[in-house]
Homo-oligomer: A and B are copies of this chain.
Amino acid sequence: MGKLAEHCYPHPNPAVTTDIVIFTIREEKLELLLIKRKHDPFKGAWGLPGGFVNPDEDLDACAKRELAEETGVKGVYLEQLYTFGNPKRDPRERIISVAYYALVPAERISTLRAASDAVDVAWYSLDKLPSLAFDHRQIVNKALDRLISKLEYSTIALRFMPEKFSLTELQAVYEIIRGEALDKRNFRKWVISLGRIEETGEERREGNHRPAKLYRAKFPGKVEIIK
């Protein structure tokens, strides 16, 4: 797309990319999606999915596109995180990265398939991240901080859930991200009192025990500030 040296400027404009921290919860772990880089710099290293902003593309649209390319999902939670612009963050040329983070329910992920700029794609538990290219570790840390604090004062956790879920499953999301056990009774009282979920009327039987009532988000797609 575009021939070489088509666009010239008196000043060297920086290149602008978006990078995305894609969270999911799988197998009782908070995980994020990494790609193994096909090209230099950091060829062969793991890093965040991302890419250059197209000439007429909004920043949000760019992040959404990258997310769809890597995971095949659409309509999930995506929020701008922070813009990283240290002149030396890319060893070659100056690249300013507008970082986003996304929350995807594990159920909605189609099979991962390495995109054009990667030789591999994988989910990594946050406990066991490899060392990352560029300043991507810093970006991940910031995304994690944001996720943890937004858990406290918003309904963001619902964006990890499938359409129907049990209260035990929802509680598990909170416990995994916060890294601590919560009291079942207090959690249920609290989450019900928020008024953001409702019973579907259905139950789910699985295993040799009492079936769980299923709930759904009252306002799916919305992330509201609570408290």
Contact = CB atoms under 8 A, between A and B. Distances in A.
Contacts of A86: 58
Classify the secondary structure of A's interface with B: loop
Given A55-B94, A87-B56, A9 B7 contact: yes
A5 interface: yes
B16 A10 contact: no
B7 A55 contact: no
Contact of A85 (B12, B52, B59): B59
A144 to B, nearest CB: 15
Contacts of A83: 59, 80, 83, 98
A217 to B, nearest CB: 24
Copies of this chain, tallied across the complex: 2
B53 A85 contact: yes
Contact of A13 (B3, B4, B7, B87): B7
Interface residues of A, number: 32
Given A58-B86, A58-B87, A86-B58, A6 B13 contact: no
A5 B4 contact: no
A1 B7 contact: no
A82 interface: yes
A15 interface: yes
A130 B63 CA distance: 34
A57 interface: yes
Interface string A1-38: 11111111111111110000000000000000000000
Nearest to A95: B13
Nearest to A62: B85
Contact of A8 (B1, B7, B16, B82): B7
Given A83-B80, A83-B98, A98-B85, A11 B55 contact: yes
Most buried by B among A7, A9, A55, A96: A9
B2 A13 contact: no
A-B pairs, 6 with minimum CB distance: A59-B85, A13-B13, A7-B12, A5-B8, A8-B8, A83-B83
